[in-house]
Structure 1
Amino acid sequence: MPELPEVETVRRTLVELVAGKTIRSVTVSLPRIIQRPIEPEQFADALAGHTIQTVERRGKFLRFVLDGIILVSHLRMEGRYGVYKQAEPVEAHTHVIFHFADGTELRYKDVRQFGTMHLFLPGEEFELPPLNKLGIEPLDEQFTLKALKETMQHRSSKIKALLLNQEHVVGLGNIYVDEALFQARIHPEREPGSLSAAEWKRLYESIKHTLTSAVNAGGSSIKSYVNGQGEMGMFQQQLLVYGKKNEPCPHCSSKIEKLKVAGRGTHICPKCQKLPKAAAAELHTRLS
């Protein structure tokens, strides 16, 4: 699933490609992608004649800002947007087409068919699902060390599970949580109450550094992600532990291990990300 850096890269590309374009009509060939309103015909009618002013992001969601209406879109597993000329052939798995007045089209393609689209009046989108319960943005000014600690430090769960929970910090998925925890030298099975002040500071800084670096690189093209112009992200070339099972740790040369934490495949360096003895003994007991 695209994470914050990938969605932010798509957003930036779409701003360049579609801002200022007026929607003439909309074709929906897979109705279940349209979540609000329920009827695809109402969705298409509501958008016709409106102009896209900009494209913003909230967590992993794209927020198309039009004159008088908001379209919230989630790419889910493999959703992609692309801009085409009207005469170009429509590829398989293209489920929604926004026909612009200038003869171009914004096409939404989704092989897995898990993507969603919602329409709202301006401001209404933050009061209703799917945006109303999202946590703090890790690349905004509101994301401070104090805010991170206050959100998580008193919760009884593994730190990786908390970081994956979009109600606490948005946009972080499996790839970047693994990378941030490695850079902070924190084992993903640690509970937040066990972290020292120095570890909280390292975690805060590593989250910001990892995500900023990934955005600057255009995201990570793990599996099939590409941006709105069909270009691959390049951050996968900078990954330190994710997908590196049995490869040497870049810091200590120990072999990277793969565990399952919070139901997700998790990559760690067993030497750089040690568990405290009590937690390690508990983990050993559970696994034995």
Structure 2
Amino acid sequence: MIEIPEAIELSKQICENITGKEIINVTAAESPHKFAWYHGAPAGYHDLLSGKLMGTARGVGSMVEITAGDAVILFSEGVSLRFHGEGEKRPAKHQLMIEFEDFSALSASVQMYGGLFCFKAGDFDNKYYKIAREKPSPLSEQFNEEYFDGIISAPENAGLSAKALLAAEQRIPGLGNGVLQDVLFNSTIHPKRKVKSLGDSDREKLYKSLKNTLADMTFKGGRDTEKDLFGCYGGYKTILSKNTTGKPCPVCGELVKKEAYMGGSIYFCPGCQKN
């Protein structure tokens, strides 16, 4: 799934390899997917985008936003993006294919679920997109200790678990269940631990871990569980993920555990992260 580090890396790669190319053909919803979401009729994507130049891309929370003239192309967290050079094999099944004048292309395929939205700028009324655009990224200077304290000290959040606080309700757009695991590990906080039990030192550690872990993931091109625009895994080696379940913790040596929680999975070290 695309989260903050991957959204930034994909956007960077799009700017380096696709920006400035003219769109000549757009194919949408050719391979039906129950949980692929579009804006309006996907059959209208070609007329909306054809003839326009691909503009710049940026990460907006867990979304990748690309400008194209007066239009916007927006991919959400569950979409897999690939760049295809001239003559390179393209996927037989996809939910969106954008072809360019130099015979290269960008394909988008939905995994479990995902949004592939194309619209004229200002015409997309989506609360998740709006919130992600309005709230500061944890990588920004605006996301400082005072801002974070406003989240963690809100009375309505006292009874939440650490996972629920950070990765639910769009409190921090783009911070999902994937990057969450190492953020909590690096702060020695268990995913199920209640916010009201966190002392000042815990809160300080969590803030610093949030900023530093995300910065490290982004600097290294995303996590090693996710692929970039060319199908390569990110350079950040996850401490807690599907890749490390059952392996020794690099700090204390206890085996990394996986449990079902809040409709997903959590990974933790029972030695370093006490509940």
Shorter-chain TM range is: 0.7 to 0.9
Partner of 1:187 in structure 2? Answer: 190
Within a 5 Å distance, the mapping from 1:122-271 to structure 2 comes to: 122-125=121-124, 127-134=125-132, 135-153=135-153, 154=155, 155=157, 156-165=159-168, 167-222=170-225, 225-236=226-237, 239-243=238-242, 244-271=244-271
TM-score between both structures, scaled by the size of structure 1: 0.83
Q: What secondary structure is seen at the aligned counterpart in 2 of 1:52?
A: coil
CA contact (8 A) 1:94 1:109 kept: yes
TM-score between both structures, scaled by the size of structure 2: 0.86
Partner of 1:49 in structure 2? Answer: 51
Partner of 1:286 in structure 2? Answer: none
Q: Shift of the alpha carbon at 1:261?
A: 3.0
CA contact (8 A) 1:35 1:116 kept: yes
Change (3 A) 1:11 1:265: same
% same residue: 25
CA contact (8 A) 1:152 1:168 kept: no
Q: What secondary structure is seen at the aligned counterpart in 1 of 2:193?
A: coil
**Which of the pair has more CA radius of gyration?**
1
Q: Shift of the alpha carbon at 1:34?
A: 5.4
Partner of 1:72 in structure 2? Answer: 74
Partner of 1:97 in structure 2? Answer: 97
Partner of 1:16 in structure 2? Answer: 16
CA root-mean-square deviation:
2.3
Q: Shift of the alpha carbon at 1:207?
A: 1.2
CA contact (8 A) 1:145 1:200 kept: no
Moved more, 26-35 or 135-144: 26-35
Deviation digits for residues 100-119 of structure 1, max 9, x if unmatched? 22332222234x36332223
Q: Shift of the alpha carbon at 1:221?
A: 3.1
**Which contiguous aligned blocks of 4+ residues in structure 1 show a shift greater than 6 angstroms?**
none
CA contact (8 A) 1:17 1:83 kept: no
CA–CA distance in structure 2, aligned partners of residues 108 and 249 of structure 1: 36
Change (3 A) 1:189 1:101: same
CA contact (8 A) 2:181 2:267 kept: yes
Q: Which structure 1 segments of 5+ residues have no match?
A: 276-288
Q: Which structure 2 segments of 5+ residues have no match?
A: none
CA contact (8 A) 1:188 1:261 kept: no
One-letter code aligned to 1:258: K
Q: Shift of the alpha carbon at 1:251?
A: 2.4
